[in-house]
Amino acid sequence: MAILRLALYSLLNRRFTALLTLFSIALSVALLLGVERIRGEARTSFANTLSGTDLIVGARTGPVPLMLYSVFRIGNATNNISWQSYQEIAAMPRVAWTVPLSLGDSHRGFPVLGTSRAYFDHYRYGRDKPLRLAKGARFADLYDAVLGAEVAAQLGYRLGDAIILAHGASDVSFARHDDKPFRVVGILERTGTPVDRSVHVSLEAIEAIHLGWEGGAPMRGREIDAERAGRMDLTPKAITAALIGLDSRIATFAVQRAINEYPQEPLLAVIPGVALSQLWSLIGLAENALLVISACVLLVGLIGMLTSLLIGLEGRRRELAILRSVGARPAQLFGLITGEALLLTLLGILLGGLILTALFRLGQPLLEAQLGLHLGLGTPQPREWLLLSALLATGFLVGLIPGWRAYRMSLSNGLSLRL
């Protein structure tokens, strides 16, 4: 107890260098924890995006790209599925439900998703949570749109507002579907998934706004006004992908094989969980590199602490001899020096945690808006506790070096001071 108090006083006495050391440790702790937290949250957020869907079907590419563009709206599809194939898949035995997804248009940077009303029934996120409307209703009319929470919040839309969709991802005047404005009829509750950043319209609406756009741009003289389009046959010819639910999980592999070997068209069916784990193994490499870098930064911080403790030790020979003379055991002097390292590490961890919390609190809206990433500010996860314990242990181990030197010094020098 006496030794711990002495360690504290001694640190206070050298508060400038101690504070610098503390800050370097705190910042590296914040970095390490931040990387770990974002990594964990990104995984959770990815894993939480889709649930209850047994298979994702699209044109033949790789499992990861298919999942990325169909569910996470990252990247673009290279090919579509024909409407006929989709119909046949929907009619397969064991297929309980299907949700068509048609992507490619955008509204002021937000992706537009053409789908059916079944989307609102079957799309699940998190732990089997269904989508819920915060305001309004699902689309009923042809030119109705349902907005994700983020779209409405960022663009300040309310029910009844008119919006113009743009062809493709860019929003330039010649690529706007401005002859067919949409009306906001519903706004979804926040989900923390890409749904928040999507504009949902019906498949038929997607078909309607592209009438006369068969060449990729409106053909002069062949414009079809909104009302006339509504009276035409708006059965889609192709969709981007489809979500499929089965009546039994056991059938998953059989249906997957049937789709993958579908003779009329090259298709790909992936199990979301499998595609996710493939994604992790891909991202894991970068994640680990990032983690290793932050661990190195932390190591640098700890080596800084070691340096300052070792340098400080030279100036503390007197102090150690005095403590020896009043009866301090070499082990207690060892404890004094090691205790300082431990105290610095512990305070560094606490301060680092505070810095991280402050940063997250400040950066949260930005991250959520830009990446759709929701960062939890709750208590550390088991992995983080593990990381922190390892960190504390490392700080202790680093402190053993000057502690051991102090121990040796007090044994060899005794009460004589060779300065």
Partner 1 sequence: MNPIIALSELRFRWRAQGPETLRIDALEVAAGERLFVEGPSGSGKSTLLGLLAGVNQPQQGRIQVLGERLDQLSPTARDRFRADHIGYLFQLFNLIPYLGILDNVTLPARFSRHRRARALARSPSLVAEAKRLLTHLDLDLDLDQRALARQAVSELSIGQQQRVAAARALFGSPALLIADEPTSSLDADRRRAFLELLFAECAETGSTLIFVSHDASLEGLFDRTLRLPELNQATDRGGPAARLRAAPVAQAQAAQAPADQAPAAQATAAQAQAPRASAALTATQPLDRQPPAP
What does the binding site for partner 1 look like in residue numbers (CB under 8 A)? 2, 6, 9-10, 12-14, 318-319, 321-331, 414-417
Instruction: Considering the complex, state which of residue 38 and residue 341 has its C-beta at the smaller distance from partner 1.
Output: 341
Given a contact cutoff of 8 angstroms between Cβ atoms, the answer to whether 59 and 267 are in contact is yes
Instruction: Considering the complex, state which of residue 379 and residue 416 has its C-beta at the smaller distance from partner 1.
Output: 416
- Six-digit token string for 194: 């890409």
76 phi/psi in degrees, rounded to 5: -125, 155
Closest CA to 301 of 17, 35, 10, 26: 26
For the bound state, the minimum distance from the C-beta of residue 346 to partner 1, rounded and expressed in Å, comes to 20
For the bound state, the minimum distance from the C-beta of residue 397 to partner 1, rounded and expressed in Å, comes to 25
Instruction: Considering the complex, state which of residue 115 and residue 410 has its C-beta at the smaller distance from partner 1.
Output: 410
Cα distance between residue 182 and residue 313, in whole Å: 74
The string of DSSP letters for 172-196 reads: -GGGB-TTS-EEEEEEEPP-SSGGG
- Which strand (E) or helix (H) includes residue 414? none
For the bound state, the minimum distance from the C-beta of residue 283 to partner 1, rounded and expressed in Å, comes to 50
Instruction: Considering the complex, state which of residue 5 and residue 383 has its C-beta at the smaller distance from partner 1.
Output: 5
The string of DSSP letters for 206-269 reads: HHHHTTT-TTSSPPTT----HHHHHHS----SEESEEEEEES-GGGHHHHHHHHHT-TTS-EEE
For the bound state, the minimum distance from the C-beta of residue 350 to partner 1, rounded and expressed in Å, comes to 22
For the bound state, the minimum distance from the C-beta of residue 316 to partner 1, rounded and expressed in Å, comes to 9
Given a contact cutoff of 8 angstroms between Cβ atoms, the answer to whether 298 and 24 are in contact is no
Check residue 39 and give left, alpha or beta (phi > 0: left; psi -120 to 50: alpha).
alpha
Given a contact cutoff of 8 angstroms between Cβ atoms, the answer to whether 344 and 9 are in contact is no
168 phi/psi in degrees, rounded to 5: 75, -170
Instruction: Considering the complex, state which of residue 10 and residue 24 has its C-beta at the smaller distance from partner 1.
Output: 10
Instruction: Considering the complex, state which of residue 91 and residue 415 has its C-beta at the smaller distance from partner 1.
Output: 415
Instruction: Considering the complex, state which of residue 96 and residue 331 has its C-beta at the smaller distance from partner 1.
Output: 331
For the bound state, the minimum distance from the C-beta of residue 315 to partner 1, rounded and expressed in Å, comes to 9
Cα distance between residue 366 and residue 380, in whole Å: 22
For the bound state, the minimum distance from the C-beta of residue 326 to partner 1, rounded and expressed in Å, comes to 5
Instruction: Considering the complex, state which of residue 158 and residue 329 has its C-beta at the smaller distance from partner 1.
Output: 329
The CA–CA distances, whole Å, from 18 to 27, 32, 342, 345 equal 14, 21, 12, 11
Cα distance between residue 104 and residue 169, in whole Å: 7
**Partners of residue 246 on adjacent β-strands:** 95
For the bound state, the minimum distance from the C-beta of residue 389 to partner 1, rounded and expressed in Å, comes to 30
Instruction: Considering the complex, state which of residue 75 and residue 414 has its C-beta at the smaller distance from partner 1.
Output: 414
Cα distance between residue 101 and residue 113, in whole Å: 7
For the bound state, the minimum distance from the C-beta of residue 12 to partner 1, rounded and expressed in Å, comes to 7
Instruction: Considering the complex, state which of residue 10 and residue 338 has its C-beta at the smaller distance from partner 1.
Output: 10
For the bound state, the minimum distance from the C-beta of residue 327 to partner 1, rounded and expressed in Å, comes to 2
Cα distance between residue 375 and residue 369, in whole Å: 12
Only one residue has tokens 């108090």, namely: 5
